[in-house]
Every structure is written in C-alpha cells, then in structure tokens.
Amino acid sequence: MSNTRAYVEALLQPFTESDDGSETATLDYHGLHGFLTALTICPTDLTEQERNESIFDGEVELPTASANELNELIARMQTTIDRGFNDEDEGFSLTCQSEELEDHDDEALANWCTGFMVAHFLNEETWFGTNEQEICELLLPIMLASGLFDDEQEFQDIRKDSKLTEDMCSQIPEVLMELYLIFNAPEEKKPHASGKRHS
C-alpha cells in the first residue's frame, strides 16, 4: 500500500491547507482509509460528488486527471480493505503503526477514526437499523479515539482513566472485524484471526 499512500498524499496535500496557511478539514491518507473502511463495512450509495465533498469537507473542482486518479486510488484502497476483512491469515490492518493504537492522543489514529465517523454520519440510519445497542457499543472506541466527542461527559470520564482509554483504542481492529461481520456476514461466527495492527 506504500505506493498508493504516496499517491494519495500527493493528491490530497494541496487541499489540506487554506490560503491563510491554516489546516482544513480535508481528510488525510489515514482519514481517507478510515472513511473507506466505514463504507466497506456499511456500504452507502454516494455519488462521486457527495463522496468528494465528504473527503474534502466541501465542494471541490478536481481536474479531470486528478479526479480519475482519485477514483483509481480509492478503488485500489477499497479492494485492499475488503480483502483484509476476508483474509483469516493476515486480517484487517489499520494504516497506523501497532504501537499508535495504545497512544490515544496519536494524530494518525485520531484522523483515521475521524474519517471513519465522517462516513458513518452519512448513513447513521442504516448503521443503527438493526442491533442498535451492539453497534453503539462497538463504535465507542472509534468515537473515543476520533476526539470528536471530547466535549461530552461520557467521553471525558473515559479519558480520565488512561488505562481504559488505551485498552479501548487497542480494541479497534477487532471491533472493526465484528462490525464487518454484522453487516456482511451476519450468520458467521467471529473469524479465527483478529484484525492485525500494522502499517
């Protein structure tokens, strides 16, 4: 995935800063991987424009060549993501290093989880259509690591316990595998191999 990552980062980089030099809400490579992972788990019918508006946090006019390149890169990433969920030997891999999952303040992990939640918000009704309580519980570590809910008391209380926070963040690959099975193979039991955590 290294070459794919380099191409994605080169394509997204011009959009990550505004004219005044401040950071934008455009997803970075980790965020895009999280975004596509959520769409792989719970497919959402998006037009290319709707998808791009989510990735770039607003309307964006991409040159034809860049738009085609982005479509190709996204297709390649989604194929890899789906293959990971269905490979019992290797398992699903986050784009973050394994040690970063225990670091709940890690920017790459936060960006990954933010991208995941961006896709989740696009289709919450389907996510919670069945097994709402179980889905909520499984999403909790991702919500926590994203930092998007840090102003809510429940998450503030969790973050006060650093060991609990670290444990929850380390569970994210396994949580993702469970979510994938709920939406894509509800009759199957959990796979023998849990998701692995490496880049």
With both helix axes pointing from N to C terminus, report the angle between 172-184 and 132-146 in degrees, rounded to the nearest 10: 140
Q: What is the pTM of this model?
A: 0.87
Q: What is the pLDDT of residues 105-142, one digit of tens each?
A: 588 999 999 999 999 999 999 999 888 999 999 999 99
pLDDT given for residue 24 in this prediction: 75
**Other CB atoms within 10 A of residue 155 CB:** 18
* Angle, CA 175 vertex, CA 169 and CA 180 arms, to 5°: 145
Q: What is the pLDDT of residues 23-33, one digit of tens each?
A: 678 999 999 99
* Angle, CA 151 vertex, CA 146 and CA 152 arms, to 5°: 95
Mean pLDDT of the chain: 86
**Other CB atoms within 10 A of residue 75 CB:** 11
Which residues does residue 17 pair with via DSSP β-bridges, in sequence order? 23
How does DSSP assign 157-182, residue by residue?
HHHT-HHHHHHHHHTHHHHHHHHHHH
